[in-house]
């Protein structure tokens, strides 16, 4: 399903030049989940297949618990069966690897996700490496990463995959643009850059050693920011009219920072802080970006919701591949 063109809807909804149109992750995530739910229903009706996702979490990290809960809830929404393996922080690497081996061996489990970060003492690389690449719905296994970098069909990490869906469904063009990705992590920055390159953007990757970051990011028609630095990217980093995708998800708890970052929205955010103890902010200064960018993803309500929707899609893809429903791994459901 295609969204209304971003250009058309922008001219209808904004008050004037210099006010970004917000790209609504909730709407696109809901569309993707509806499509996944239809495909799950078809698989159940035609083949008696119900895809199954196994989520593994170790320790008591509060944010990880919320992320896993959201993923399990999304499974329920689309009809995917799920299992939640919540292990104590004292779990050893050997015990975790044993669980993964058993999930790899189970025919009824299609996708395995291990919620990161893992408690200290367990090497994440070793754990990711242990997941069967055919069940690697997060797209972090070295085989998956290698296939992606070669431009071969594979499981695409959910956050960058969701960003491409968002841009496509708002009909924001990628080919030929100057795209800049700030951040080079394995889960966001690097795969994002690969996908943009595959879509014929001219891609620059920035990181903490980049000199004069603003002079580089200001060249970008499409700026994707995944730094983990609350509100870092400001007016001076953004080319007027650029599309800015804010991947960051940072908790802020104090009034001064909220006032600084949210401008006229600050009062609403202060209410959230007093209710919940924190509010979420991305890596982009929302008030400044709103004034300069052409299109902007909000936080919350932007990229985060798409990540979960794409995880659902990858789980269905895994189920179809493993059960012979399809021969090749393509991007379609």
In the complex, the residues that contact ligand NDP under the rule CB under 6 A are: 159, 182-185, 187-189, 206-210, 213, 226-229, 247-250, 283, 303-304, 307
Q: Which is nearer to ligand NDP, 209 or 275 (CB)?
A: 209
Residue length, the chain?
333
Q: Check if the beta carbon of residue 155 is closer than 8 Å to that of residue 314.
A: yes
Shortest Å, Cβ 249 to ligand NDP: 4
**Distance in angstroms (rounded) separating the CA atoms of residues 37 and 228:** 32
317 belongs to the catalytic site:
no
Torsion sign (Cα): 331, 39, 30, 230: negative
Q: What does the DSSP 8-state code read for residue 3?
A: P
Shortest Å, Cβ 302 to ligand NDP: 7
Shortest Å, Cβ 269 to ligand NDP: 17
Six-digit token string for 83: 């299992």
Q: Which is nearer to ligand NDP, 40 or 226 (CB)?
A: 226
33 belongs to the catalytic site:
no
**Distance in angstroms (rounded) separating the CA atoms of residues 267 and 46:** 52
Q: State the catalytic residue, choosing from 21, 115, 136, 317.
A: 115
Q: State the catalytic residue, choosing from 21, 24, 33, 71.
A: 71
Q: Cα dist. 36→8, 113, 114, 133, 243 in Å?
A: 28, 18, 22, 21, 27
Q: What does the DSSP 8-state code read for residue 218?
A: T
Shortest Å, Cβ 92 to ligand NDP: 25
115 belongs to the catalytic site:
yes
Count of C-beta atoms within a 10 Å radius of residue 203: 21
Q: Which is nearer to ligand NDP, 273 or 321 (CB)?
A: 273
**Distance in angstroms (rounded) separating the CA atoms of residues 47 and 192:** 34
- Among residues 64, 69, 126, which one has the least CA distance to residue 95? 126
**Distance in angstroms (rounded) separating the CA atoms of residues 191 and 145:** 8
Chain residue whose CB lies nearest ligand NDP:
185
Six-digit token string for 91: 């779990």
Six-digit token string for 127: 């754990």
Q: Which is nearer to ligand NDP, 248 or 298 (CB)?
A: 248
Shortest Å, Cβ 291 to ligand NDP: 22
Catalytic residues: 71, 115, 138
């Amino acid at each position: 399903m295609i969204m209304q063109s971003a250009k058309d809807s922008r001219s209808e909804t904004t008050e004037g030049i210099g006010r970004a149109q917000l790209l609504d992750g909730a709407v696109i995530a809901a569309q993707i989940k509806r499509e996944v739910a239809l495909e799950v229903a078809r698989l159940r009706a035609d083949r008696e297949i119900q895809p199954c996702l196994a989520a593994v979490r170790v320790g008591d990290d509060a944010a990880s618990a919320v992320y896993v809960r959201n993923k399990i809830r999304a499974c329920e929404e689309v009809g995917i069966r799920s299992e939640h393996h919540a292990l104590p922080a004292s779990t050893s690497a050997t015990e975790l690897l044993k669980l993964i081996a058993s999930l790899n061996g189970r025919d009824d489990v299609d996708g395995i996700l291990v919620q990161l970060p893992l408690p200290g003492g367990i090497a994440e690389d070793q754990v990711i490496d242990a997941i069967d690449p055919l069940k690697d719905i997060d797209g972090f296994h070295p085989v998956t990463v290698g296939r992606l970098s070669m431009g071969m069909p594979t499981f695409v990490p959910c956050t960058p995959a969701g960003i491409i869906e968002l841009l496509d469904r708002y009909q924001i063009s990628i080919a030929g643009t100057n795209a800049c990705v700030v951040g080079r992590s394995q889960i966001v920055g690097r795969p994002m850059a690969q996908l943009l390159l595959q879509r014929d953007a001219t891609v620059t990757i920035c990181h903490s050693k980049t000199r004069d970051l603003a002079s580089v990011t200001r060249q970008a028609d499409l700026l994707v920011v995944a730094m983990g630095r609350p509100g870092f990217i400001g007016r001076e980093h953004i080319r007027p009219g650029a599309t800015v995708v804010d991947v960051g998800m940072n908790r802020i708890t104090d009034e001064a920072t909220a006032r600084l970052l949210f401008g006229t929205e600050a009062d609403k955010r202060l209410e959230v802080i007093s209710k919940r103890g924190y509010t979420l902010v991305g890596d982009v200064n929302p008030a400044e970006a709103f004034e300069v960018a052409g299109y902007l993803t909000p936080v919350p309500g932007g990229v985060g919701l798409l990540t979960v929707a794409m995880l659902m899609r990858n789980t269905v893809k895994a189920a179809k591949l493993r059960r012979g429903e399809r021969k090749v791994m393509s991007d379609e459901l």
